[in-house]
Amino acid sequence: MKRLVFGSALVVALLIAVSSAVASALTPETARREAKLAAIEFSIRHQLDESNVGRCRRTSAKAINCAAIAKGETSAAIKTCEINVMVRAVEHQFYTDVSAAITRHSCTTVAKERLTSSAAAKAIQAKADSFAGAKTELSSLTRLDDLTYLASARWIRPSAHPSEFSTTESCSVSLTARLAAGQVSVETEGFACF
Condensed to tens digits (0 to 9), the pLDDT of residues 65-89 reads 999 999 999 888 999 999 999 999 9
Cα–Cα distance for residue pair 179/169, rounded to 1 Å: 33
Note the pLDDT of residue 11.
46
Q: Taking all residues of the chain, what is their mean pLDDT, rounded to a whole number?
A: 87
The helix or strand, by DSSP H or E, that contains position 56, with its residue range, turns out to be: strand 50-60
Handedness of CA 116, 118, 119, 125 (dihedral sign): positive
Cα–Cα distance measured from residue 139 to residue 129, given in angstroms and rounded to the nearest whole number: 13
> Which of 180, 178, 169 is closest to 127 using CA atoms?
178
pTM score, whole prediction: 0.57
